[in-house]
Amino acid sequence: MDVTRAASVVAERARNGRLLVLTGAGISAECGIPTFRGKEGYWTRGSKVYHPMELATHRAFVEQPATVWGWYLYRRSVCRAASPGAGHRAVADMARLLGERFDLVTQNVDGLHARSGVPPERMYEIHGNIDAYRCARACTTRTYPVPERFDDWPKDRIPDAEDLAALACPACGGPGRPHVLWFDECYDEPRFRAESAMDAAARCDVLVVVGTSGATNLPMQIGALAVARKVPILDVNPEDGPFGDLARRSPGGGVLRAKAGEVLPGLSSAIAGAVGARRE
């Protein structure tokens, strides 16, 4: 599908209806944040090369909390150093244009959507946020900002006992942990807004999927629900994957084999035109 056709599908549906955008690591790849499953997602420590799927687990945290914290603190520094790209800005424009008729479900923990201006009440960070931590013993679902002393964390530094004490749960004094969803954990509403994300899928009139390989459960459920509801899906991704299949099966939907920053501004301009025309 070309951008012009995709823009007219989105504009037509968003004129009076609801838009749901679902993003993954691809939208932030253009801002210098490595994708999870791309080769730069790997992490080398001494002679050991970790696959992210080994470290991003509760099990790894229990076995080696300092190593896992070091990896997250470094990744947090990479995210902080990055700036929102054209794709994020276009998504924020869509949020502004559509107000309560817009929802964003993001798998990204980098915070770039919030920094580009998507309001928190319109956004579901279903895999958490790397800038926050919470009680590892779950004494509360509250999250806390990672303290400033951890800004600019070097790649190979492992937090010491004093660092870990600064990341303890302020409520109970137990160990703190990154506020993310690990591979051996389940989605829920209080921490990850999973039900809210499915509700958004149940009421959207068009779904735009950007930069995700479709390897996680809740995003695929969102796509399957959109297909079952006969809602058009547009899949923005330079590579094909499961969302491409769903998009082709959805009536009026299709795939855009392009980078997020190349096509999302065109989609937001089309929405601006449609919303403006409605107001006149």
Contact residues for ligand APR (CB under 6 A)? 24-26, 29-30, 35-38, 107, 127, 210-213, 215-216, 236-239, 241, 259-260
Measure the CA–CA gap between 277 and 91, rounded to whole angstroms. Answer: 20
DSSP letter at 149?
Answer: G
- Per DSSP bridges, beta strands 128-135 and 123-125 are unpaired
Instruction: Establish whether 88 is a catalytic residue.
Output: no
Cβ of residue 218: shortest distance to ligand APR, in angstroms?
Answer: 10
Closest chain position to ligand APR (CB): 26
Which of 134/259 has CB closer to ligand APR? Answer: 259
Q: What region, left, alpha or beta, does residue 143 occupy, with left being phi > 0 and alpha being psi -120 to 50 degrees?
A: beta
Which of 179/259 has CB closer to ligand APR? Answer: 259
Tell me the H-state helices in 129-187. 161-166
Cβ of residue 97: shortest distance to ligand APR, in angstroms?
Answer: 21
Which of 103/163 has CB closer to ligand APR? Answer: 103
Which of 85/159 has CB closer to ligand APR? Answer: 85
Cβ of residue 257: shortest distance to ligand APR, in angstroms?
Answer: 10
Of the residues 88, 113, 127, 179, which is catalytic?
127
40: which 2 tokens? 């730069």
Cβ of residue 280: shortest distance to ligand APR, in angstroms?
Answer: 34
Which of 20/274 has CB closer to ligand APR? Answer: 20
Closest by CA position to 4, among listed 277, 275, 254? 254
Cβ of residue 203: shortest distance to ligand APR, in angstroms?
Answer: 23
Closest by CA position to 210, among listed 241, 181, 248, 249? 241
Closest by CA position to 86, among listed 265, 271, 274? 265
Phi, psi of 8 (to 5 degrees): -75, -30
Contact partners, residue 12, CB within 8 Å, separation at least 6:
274
Catalytic residue numbers read: 127
